[in-house]
A and B are shown apart, each in its own frame.
Chain A
Amino acid sequence: MISIKSVSHSYSNALRISFKDWEINNGDQWLLLGESGSGKTTLLHILTGILKPEEGEVNMDGTSVYSLSSRALDQFRGRNIGIIFQRPHLIKSLTIKENLLLAQSFAKLPENPERINEVLHSLGIIEKKDAYPNELSQGQLQRVSIARAVINKPALLIADEPTSSLDDKNAIAVLNLLVEQSGLNQATLIVATHDKRVKDAFTNTYEL
């Protein structure tokens, strides 16, 4: 279970943003709705442990995330949280397979080529295993970034505006993949968006 309690944050020159308390049960699928500038990305960064809020607490399966040391937090994030960004951002100097190996080794998990094959297979890009990122299309790259997010079977899968740069057809395809993958890997899913197309697919909504 994930919960945030009385969390608020302010950047040096801006207004303080307070977030209402939020409890997420394991396996839930949530939509995080809000206009640009409403603090969506800030809340996602707080949830994923890369931005320490000025006040409040984030708990994940009994661990108070920000009480961990910087190093322990990095490892915790690598093992328990998978993040999908608006744009794929793979490491250009590494092949698809190596990008996924990277995710395994940074999380201090053993390298597991079978798991990589399994994930790539389920996303339909197994034949691109040894290609470099610049040889893939935008849609394929987004699939690889989903693969990278789920490779370590995280408890929490977070997607930040995954559909905003895609057309209708691809947006729905990516959304379906996210729902499908979170189900396959028994991960809690949070999708942050201002995209109305996505709205209908979710029952749980957290609005900013």
Chain B
Amino acid sequence: MSPIKISWKSLWSKPLSSALNIMLIAFGTGILTILLLASTQISQKLDNNSKDIDLVVGAKGSPLQLILSSIYYIDFPTGNIPLKDAQELSHSPFVKRAVPLAQGDNYEGIRIVGTDSNFVRVYKLTTSSGKFWSADFEVTVGATVAATKKLKIGDTFFGAHGLTGSTDVHKTHAYKVAGILTPQGNVTDNLILTNIASVWRMHDDHEKEEATEQHQRSAHHHEKTEGQQQEETGDHEKETRPDQGGADSGREITALLIQYRSPMSVVMFPRMVNQSTALQAASPAMESTRLFSLIGVGVDTLQWFAILIMLIAAISVFVNLYNSLKERNYDLAIMRTLGASRGQLFQIIIFEGILLTFAGTVIGIALGHLVLQFIGAYQESSQARLSGLIFLGTEIYLFVAGLAIGIFAAIIPAVQAYRSNISKILSKN
């Protein structure tokens, strides 16, 4: 019978109060685990997706929205920009590399992005099978897309109009899978990539077809809800432009991702774009920081809440041990008469505290992961999906904190057990 086994047995003899203590600690640790995992994953995703992009140029509007739509593919685009203006900016001496983006369609909720080979270079993409898109209507799909939608090389599918929903399918052209990307651990895992011309042609032909078949479509458009309208403003304009015989002059794209040539550009280029053109420049780093500071308020509040719960748990463990010590004074004195040393009694009480908080911490961390995985499974946006299966090194601090609380709560009762005058206790009865 080691002290730890005596502690264990003693806790099992009071299952209700032990369970209450464990639950309190598990709850506190669980919230902290979720916060830790979620904030780490979100900031990692933010950093991962924007690390090689210095600036995004798009239509005027909210800079945060521009970043969200063009880098994280979460929000709707702010609008379209003329291809001509974009090309001018691409050739600016400040710019090392510029990536055009044309959004507007989706396949079962996954965005189809028209772009060029610069996209491959910026994100350092490689294919795990097949090749990158080259001809019109050829696509290269992200690793997650291939896995979840079960797409193989040579498969064909129809894109749907808008960024979500599949009610308005472009039946005129089918996309054909030319390649699958290796997993990148960023947003490209969840994209379907093609060339810009495919996106244009899809809509040009779509427009013709619509015009002949159903003339009320534009009227129908105006009845749509605000959200949907915003969703479609990007390509709505695109559609209203008639095909101008292949001339790029009237063409539009959604946004332009920019890599700077030198640090000098940081100062000069955004100001130039914002002041001298009708376009807007937004810095991913700045907007991500702003976004994170907005989320941060909520995270801070929850964190304090969890710490408060942990504190209550610590007090509850303390009260539990302290009260049980009063009842067990005599038991402990008997143990001394059986040959137990003061140190062993001290150990028994400390172990009880540690066992309670250790069990609570383990359950709490497991619960945190489980809940986060659950949240992730019900998340709509696949780009920002949270995972409960990722374990972080910093979770070890939660363990340390749990053990510290156990020792902290048990130390006073344990010292009392250590100091108790057994002759006095035994003669009282």
Contact = CB atoms under 8 A, between A and B. Distances in A.
Interface in A5-46: 41-42, 45
A71 interface: yes
B320 interface: no
B9 A94 contact: yes
Contact of B341 (A75, A98, A105): A75
B324 to A, nearest CB: 10
A157 to B, nearest CB: 13
A107 interface: yes
Nearest to A71: B341
B312 to A, nearest CB: 26
Interface in A75-121: 75, 77-79, 81, 83, 85-87, 89, 91-94, 98, 101-108, 111
A48 B337 contact: yes
Nearest to B424: A51
Contacts of B422: 50
Given A45-B426, A50-B423, A108 B339 contact: yes
Given A50-B423, A93-B12, A106 B429 contact: no
B389 interface: no
A89 B341 contact: no
Contacts of B2: 105
A4 B341 CA distance: 24
A74 B336 contact: yes
Interface residues of A, number: 34
A70 B342 contact: yes
B394 interface: no
A102 B338 contact: yes
A92 to B, nearest CB: 6
B330 interface: yes
Nearest to A105: B1
Contact of A107 (B9, B338, B342, B427): B338
B341 A70 contact: yes
B13 interface: yes
A106 B427 contact: no
Interface residues of B, number: 25
Contacts of A70: 341-342
Given A41-B427, A70-B341, A78-B340, A93 B13 contact: yes
B337 A98 contact: no
B373 to A, nearest CB: 37
Interface string A48-73: 10110000000000000000001100
Nearest to B427: A41
A102 B335 contact: yes
Contacts of A143: none
Nearest to B422: A50
B331 to A, nearest CB: 5
A153 interface: no
B343 interface: yes
B361 interface: no
B334 A91 contact: yes
Determine which residue in B9, B339, B422 has the highest number of CB atoms from chain A within 10 A of its CB, and name it. Answer: B339
B383 interface: no
B3 to A, nearest CB: 10
A50 B429 contact: no
A75 B2 CA distance: 15
A148 B338 contact: yes
Contacts of B429: 85-87
A89 B343 contact: no
Most-contacted residue by chain A among B1, B10, B344 (CB, 10 A): B1
Contacts of B10: 93
A87 B334 CA distance: 11
Contact of A79 (B6, B339, B342, B344): B339
Contacts of A148: 338
Interface of A: 41-42, 45, 48, 50-51, 70-71, 74-75, 77-79, 81, 83, 85-87, 89, 91-94, 98, 101-108, 111, 148
Nearest 7 interchain pairs by C-beta = A78-B339, A93-B13, A51-B423, A106-B339, A107-B339, A106-B340, A106-B338
17 contacts: A70-B342, A71-B341, A71-B342, A74-B341, A74-B342, A78-B340, A79-B339, A89-B331, A98-B1, A98-B9, A102-B6, A102-B335, A105-B1, A105-B2, A106-B335, A106-B344, A107-B339
Interface of B: 1-2, 6, 9-10, 12-13, 330-331, 334-344, 422-423, 426-427, 429
